[in-house]
Amino acid sequence: MTSKNKNEHLVKQLSECIKGAVISLNTGMKYKLKDILPPEVWGTLNQYERRELGRVLSRLVKQNIVPLMAAGRTSANHRQYTVKH
Sign for the pseudo-dihedral over CA of 30, 79, 40, 63: positive
- As a whole number of angstroms, the distance between CA 8 and CA 77 comes to 26
- Burial tier of 66 (Cβ tally within 10 Å: 0-12, 13-18, 19+): buried
Domain span at residue 33? 3-83
Write down the pLDDT at residue 9: 83
What CATH number is given to the structural domain containing 18? 1.10.10
- As a whole number of angstroms, the distance between CA 74 and CA 49 comes to 19
Q: Which residues of the chain have pLDDT under 70?
A: 1-4, 6
Write down the pLDDT at residue 6: 67
Query: For the whole model, what pTM was predicted?
Result: 0.84
Write down the pLDDT at residue 75: 86
Number of domains in the chain: 1
